[in-house]
Amino acid sequence: MENGLLMKMIFLGAPGAGKGTQAEIVSEKYSLPAISTGAIIREAIKNQTEMGKAAKSYTESGALVPDEVVIGIIKERLAMDDCKNGFILDGFPRTVPQAEALDKMGVKIDLVINIDVPDEKIVERMSGRRVCSKCGASYHTKYNPSNKGDVCEKCENELQIRKDDAPEVVLSRLKTYHEQTEPLIEFYSKLGVLETVIGQEEVADTTALTLGVIEAKRQGR
């Protein structure tokens, strides 16, 4: 764990690009809070809050949750004490109007890291995911298959594909990303705070590139 990094960061990338994993690693290394809107929204859906019910119909079809819902959550979170010295936003902003809303809150972003992975690789990654219907153990048909085929190694219950990982939903989410989120790359590039990291096969290799970008920014290079 390293202290002393005062930086407000955003991680961009298509669903399945690995930005959440990198955000967690960077969060732990530099003691910065990683704020995942996806996690906050999933929690609201699970708890069947009013906001969660509103969000559910959008997430199940692969569409984006409306701005006013997401912006409200983010505003509350950034007002907390642990965000005073910096933070990592994962999954927000997702549209240019959201980025503009962030700017209007007076939040100055120091660094935006865009993790770039081709669509076909993302479809392969996500549609190959399998989850045990009972114990929740995770597998992947290519990268981490169960040695018992279509059943869980641990409890021998059936492995399932989450709705979000079905190929048709993944393609729908990628289409939404390209239409609504990808314009943020140009938005932050014009502000001079964007850096692109090419997502690698191995998480550790992507992490090495990501940390290199952060350290370069930290040292003013």
Residues with a catalytic annotation lie at 19, 94, 129, 162, 173
Name the 3-class secondary structure at 200: coil
Per the omega criterion (within 30 degrees of 0), is the bond before 15 cis? no
Name the 3-class secondary structure at 78: helix
Give the relative orientation of helices 96-104 and 67-78 as an angle to the nearest 10 degrees: 40
User: What Rg do the C-alpha atoms of the chain give, in angstroms?
Assistant: 18
Q: Using CB atoms within 10 A of its CB, is residue 29 exposed (0-12), middle (13-18) or buried (19+)? A: middle
Query: Which amino acid is it at 133?
Result: S
Q: Determine the Cα–Cα distance for residues 76 and 219; give it in Å rounded to an integer.
A: 31
